[in-house]
Amino acid sequence: MRILVTGRDGQVARALRNRAGERLEVVAIGRPEFDLGAQSDPTALFKELGPDVIVNAAAYTAVDKAEADRDAALAVNGFGAGAAARAAARLDAPIIQLSTDYVFDGAATRAYREDDPTAPINFYGRSKLAGEEAVRAATSNHVILRTSWIYAPEGQNFLRTMLRLAGDRDEIRVVADQHGTPTSARDLAAAIEQIARNLVASPNEASLRGLFHLTNSGVTTWAGFAAEIFAMSAALGGPHARVIPIATSDFPTPARRPTRSQLDIAKIAHSHGIKPREWRQALQTVMEQVTKNSDM
């Protein structure tokens, strides 16, 4: 099976490339040869690469910057997602579109289900919701995956930032009143591969298509996530610091964040047979890899 993934240097694309082997070929594309925000038709490029499944992982992910740079965020996350989906439809290939927990306002008292009303409170969330709508309009042969708090052993992410800061600080202040689920890019990539195989094996099965939530299981806060990172890092001989929990109001940002954005992942288990690991188990695996390859 050949997967074409956009966003070559992103965490999910890297994780998918790491899964490539005898039974899986992964072709990753990105700038400059492919720019999702360039308002061009990628059909010819996609056709040349001949994918069985397209994964649109390219995104404008600078949440705070998106508040001022709205045209660029919408070009990639909204219009670009639509262009990729229309190209997939022309090639009769399924597309897997990555989306976000930030399409919700965070006011719920339970985990969000796929059929809950969306109400993004920042422009990043609105741009990603526009991408969902564009993909639905372009093709029925799609899977939209909402996920959250993605991290990996490499790249720019919360885990790497915490470890870097711990290199020269004894205490780190971290927000403790935003709740969600850290999601390993490697676990996400494994699930995407399984979804892709299911789509190819059952091209007419409607229950495998549509909107799904996919994260690791469980819930924590950013402060709780940081504390686990440092506890595991310390046990492995790596950098660590003491977490000082703070309120969101103590750390103002241009973009508002949902207070609670945990996603209900029951549907993906029922339809695709995917039962994600608890987030601490996934983090332990990643921390061991970080320590093994540490350059800190």
Which residues are catalytic, by number? 124
* 120: Cβ contacts below 8 Å, ≥ 6 apart: 102, 103, 104, 105, 126, 128, 129
Pull the structure tokens for residue 294: 């540490």
Distance between CA 283 and CA 184 in Å, rounded? Answer: 7
- The amino acid that residue 99 corresponds to is S
Give the CA radius of gyration of the chain: 19
Distance between CA 184 and CA 225 in Å, rounded? Answer: 12
Alpha-carbon dihedral 221, 145, 104, 134, rounded to 10 degrees: 150
> What ranges make up the beta strands (E) of the chain?
2-6, 25-29, 53-56, 95-100, 142-147, 150-151, 171-175, 179-180, 183-184, 210-213, 220-221, 242-246
Pull the structure tokens for residue 268: 């993906």
